[in-house]
Amino acid sequence: MTALVIAAGDTTAKNANGSFGLLVFLVLAVAVVFLLRSMTKHLKKVDKINFDDQPTDTKKASTPRPPRP
């Protein structure tokens, strides 16, 4: 009975692990946003490249690879 009273009455204790977890989550979320912005910029550069202008190697294209067992 006293354990319930102590556990229920201890509402003033700070939860340091929860605050640290929130901080880590926010830092990771900001990092993901910057990574997505960077990836979008790089993908836009790749879309601008015209792949038809690049020469193709006809030797590799004419002999297909056999399937792996």
Q: Which pLDDT band, with edges at 50, 70 and 90, does 45 fall under?
A: confident
Domain boundaries, the chain: 20-48
In 7-59, beta strands by DSSP E: none
At 61, list the tokens. 């294209």
pLDDT value of position 65? 72
Average pLDDT of the chain to the nearest whole number: 75
Distance of alpha carbon 35 from alpha carbon 29, whole angstroms: 10
Claim: this prediction has a pTM higher than 0.95 = no
Would you say residue 3 has pLDDT above 60? no
At 46, list the tokens. 């790749």
In the chain, beta strands by DSSP E: none
Distance of alpha carbon 35 from alpha carbon 68, whole angstroms: 36
Scan for tokens 């910029």, then name that residue: 41
